[in-house]
Structure 1
Amino acid sequence: MSTSATAIRFPCAGCGGPMIFDSDSQHMKCQYCDAEQEIDNVLSQPVEHPFHGSIDTPAELLDWGTEQKTIHCESCGGETLIPVGQTTVTCIFCNSPKVLEQDQMQTIRPETLIPFQISSDKALRSFAAWKKKRWFLPNKFKRMNVSSQLHSIYIPYWTYDTESYSVYRAERGVYHYRTVPRTRVVNGKSETVMVQERYTVWNWVNGEYDRAFDDILIPASGHYNQNMLERLGDFDLRNLVPYKPDYLSGYVSERYSVSREQGWDKAQSKADDQLRDEIRRRIGGDEVRNLRVRTNYNDVTYKHLLLPVWNANYTYKTKQYYYMVNGQTGTVSGHVPRSPLKITLFTLFCLAVAGVLLWFYLNQQQPM
């Protein structure tokens, strides 16, 4: 990790040394004497906060339990939150030493979080197993032990709950078949054969569709590649625990840069796509075209939560690459070097297969 817990925010009862959260034991662990202390969690249902209404954020939602400070990177623009008294000398995103403390801005504290369950060693093993399964990597890179710089970070997310009501109209197409004559050439001679021809019958359909959405998960990070975060996002939200500052002891959390309103726009777009897919399946038939959907969203609520991620970078042939490891499940998402030779050979193979299939098709059927 890029942080060192110099402030004793959670002193050890035995020696007074600093305690930080340990992913292996899921307890607080003393950095001096290795004593462990269980974190008391009040098992309660996370509170869903109304999205619409007052623009003012209640004071209790701004209380992180410990005073936080914002660290800004002059190189990449990334911003993180760490407890006051904890230090950092490099940026957790790009490893740049150009980091400065900023004036503290009020940010909504997380409602819940998932603690780290994957250690740095397990994260490295997950990456090693993941890269061996990539097809187009250079063989040398596949075999080598990659020296990665890992940083543990809590990524901010929003979740949204909502009730939806949709009305839709579309054309449903059903396939039918008829027997028609076709002429083809066999051994230089023309002959007529009867074949099955498909045609589509279209009918207009209308309907209504109700759907409740629970925990639409939206990354609140504006620094990371959103597609990378989406591929990483197999978090099991059933394991969320109520937020306690203990879990952040010794760790860094990214300050969200996607607002609640921006997050809801993304969540609504995600819900719109899901509704269109579900309505298409409900309409049935063999094809659907000219689908129009109008949706109203009601009773929108939100939560702010933190999810654990190992952020890593490494260098291969002077070029820097990045990857991330889900701190709960070990899922890996990232960028790796590619072998131009393997890509070229695969492309030529696909073109050859396509050419053979086209030749076979053209020699089997001849239009009238």
Structure 2
Amino acid sequence: MAIGAQAVTAAPVGFPCSGCGGQMQFDTASQGLKCRYCGAEQSIENLAGQPREHEFDEDGGDEAEQTDWGTEQQAIHCESCGGETLIPAGQTATTCVFCGSPKVLPQGNPGTIRPESVIPFRTSRDEAAALFKKWKKKRWFLPNDFKKQDVKANLNGIYIPYWTYDAETYSVYSAEVGVYHYRTVTKTRTVNGKTETYTETERYTVWHWTHGDYGRGFDDILIPASGHYDDALLEKLGDFDLSKLNGYRPEYLSGFIAERYSVSRREGWQRARDKADSVLETEIRREIGGDELRNLSIRTQYSDITYKHLLLPVWNAAYTYKTKPYRYMVNGQTGTVSGRVPRSAVKIAFFTLGCLAVAGIALYLWSQSSAS
């Protein structure tokens, strides 16, 4: 079912504390609103229920999405990296949450896509910092002083927009399959000036053509709608439990930052299709079997394509080590950590030398056994 093009125009709302009037923010421990000043708590009612699957038309254009976020937002643009985020109106940002640059400019009314579903933060800022500290201690090639020190990072809780896609697929394939066979051959060699005969097992490959079909369904192919993050880092954070999705409520964003959608639904589907094609090739190769494959051809039809748009919680940190910038991320739901960290040239050199030494010893032992 397609989303209606008419945007909802409900008046923006705030979240004042009924006790002291202070601004309430989302609290990861209670999963509700909590006053920063008097500690009063307020539950959040999830009225939207389960997220809806919307039909996706590959041939049609992008439809207008709802844009009312339930609270007035302003867009912030970074001159250095081009990143754009949404923060509540009236709030100021002095540094970019993507690259740490202090050059950020307000952009006024964002008019951006409002998500339908959200997974609220369950990991607090202090827990995210502790998880990174534990994570880096397990990394072998980090400098020892970096592993021991507390990293001073600008840690921001960000809701990153995602698309998810479902689809049914039907593929037909053909390929040449190579199967290994073995035979015993007689050879000669010279040992201590004398020619001797010996036998050796030789491998050869027999090729034959095969073809077939393969059907498979995909559920919730997760695609970031962010254009300002390292894809490899986000991919490692992809263990979100989407069964815990809540209907979008503006209260979940209180005290956090939301990134604008910068990847269109059509571009998101192309990325999802590329991921699905890769999975299909791997599985079809496994189904065909054999020892080698060549000239593999796969033609896939996609049908019953649906999508959802949602916000997922990520703690993002930018920091420097010896004047060089680095970044790490923590999954705000599961606590999974991914990051770019400094490497110790000395440790890498010793590891490389050790590998070369082991390889040299193995080669020497093999040559001695072959000569005997």
TM-score (norm 2): 0.90
**Alignment equivalent of 1:180, drawn from 175, 178, 185:** 185
Q: Aligned partners of 2:219 and 2:45: how far apart in 1?
A: 27
User: After superposition, what is the alpha-carbon deviation per residue over 1:158-210, rounded to whole angstroms, capped at 9, x for unaligned?
Assistant: 11111111110011222222222344566776543333322222221111111
Q: Aligned partners of 1:19 and 1:78: how far apart in 2?
A: 27
| CA spacing shift, 1:231–1:185, aligned 2, 3 Å | farther
Q: Counterparts of 1:1-368 in structure 2 under 5 Å?
A: 9-42=14-47, 44-52=49-57, 55=61, 57-58=63-64, 61-183=66-188, 191-365=196-370
| CA spacing shift, 1:72–1:179, aligned 2, 3 Å | same
Matched-pair contact (CA < 8 Å) for 1:169–1:291: yes
Question: Is the partner of 1:258 in helix, strand or coil?
Answer: coil
Residue identity matched to 1:13: S
**2:6 aligns to what?**
none
Residue identity matched to 2:305: V
Question: Is the partner of 1:271 in helix, strand or coil?
Answer: helix
Q: Aligned partners of 1:184 and 1:123: how far apart in 2?
A: 65
| CA spacing shift, 1:254–1:188, aligned 2, 3 Å | farther
| CA spacing shift, 1:12–1:195, aligned 2, 3 Å | same
Residue identity matched to 1:39: I
The RMSD of aligned alpha carbons is: 2.1
Residue identity matched to 2:337: V
| CA spacing shift, 1:244–1:262, aligned 2, 3 Å | same
Matched-pair contact (CA < 8 Å) for 2:34–2:40: yes
Q: Aligned partners of 1:192 and 1:127: how far apart in 2?
A: 63
Q: Aligned partners of 1:85 and 1:264: how far apart in 2?
A: 35
| CA spacing shift, 1:8–1:261, aligned 2, 3 Å | closer
TM-score (norm 1): 0.91
Q: Give the Å deviation of 1:122.
A: 0.8
Structure 1, 220-229 or 348-357: larger mean CA deviation: 348-357
Matched-pair contact (CA < 8 Å) for 1:179–1:195: yes
Q: Aligned partners of 2:148 and 2:277: how far apart in 1?
A: 44
User: After superposition, what is the alpha-carbon deviation per residue over 1:191-235, rounded to whole angstroms, capped at 9, x for unaligned?
Assistant: 433333222222211111111111111111111111111122221
Structure 1, 254-263 or 94-103: larger mean CA deviation: 94-103
User: After superposition, what is the alpha-carbon deviation per residue over 1:228-282, rounded to whole angstroms, capped at 9, x for unaligned?
Assistant: 1112222121211111111011110111211111111111111000000010111
| CA spacing shift, 1:174–1:43, aligned 2, 3 Å | farther
Q: Aligned partners of 2:32 and 2:300: how far apart in 1?
A: 46
Question: Is the partner of 1:62 in helix, strand or coil?
Answer: coil
| CA spacing shift, 1:148–1:56, aligned 2, 3 Å | closer
Q: Give the Å deviation of 1:123.
A: 0.8
Q: Give the Å deviation of 1:18.
A: 1.4
Q: Give the Å deviation of 1:139.
A: 1.4
| CA spacing shift, 1:209–1:141, aligned 2, 3 Å | same
User: After superposition, what is the alpha-carbon deviation per residue over 1:110-136, rounded to whole angstroms, capped at 9, x for unaligned?
Assistant: 121111111111111111111111111
Q: Aligned partners of 1:186 and 1:108: how far apart in 2?
A: 78
Matched-pair contact (CA < 8 Å) for 1:163–1:297: yes
In structure 1, list runs of 5 or more residues that go unmatched. Answer: 1-6
Q: Aligned partners of 1:353 and 1:188: how far apart in 2?
A: 32
**1:3 aligns to what?**
none
Residue identity matched to 2:245: L
Residue identity matched to 2:39: D
Matched-pair contact (CA < 8 Å) for 1:153–1:253: yes
Matched-pair contact (CA < 8 Å) for 2:73–2:110: no
In structure 2, list runs of 5 or more residues that go unmatched. Answer: 1-11
Aligned residue pairs total 359
| CA spacing shift, 1:8–1:32, aligned 2, 3 Å | farther
**2:5 aligns to what?**
none
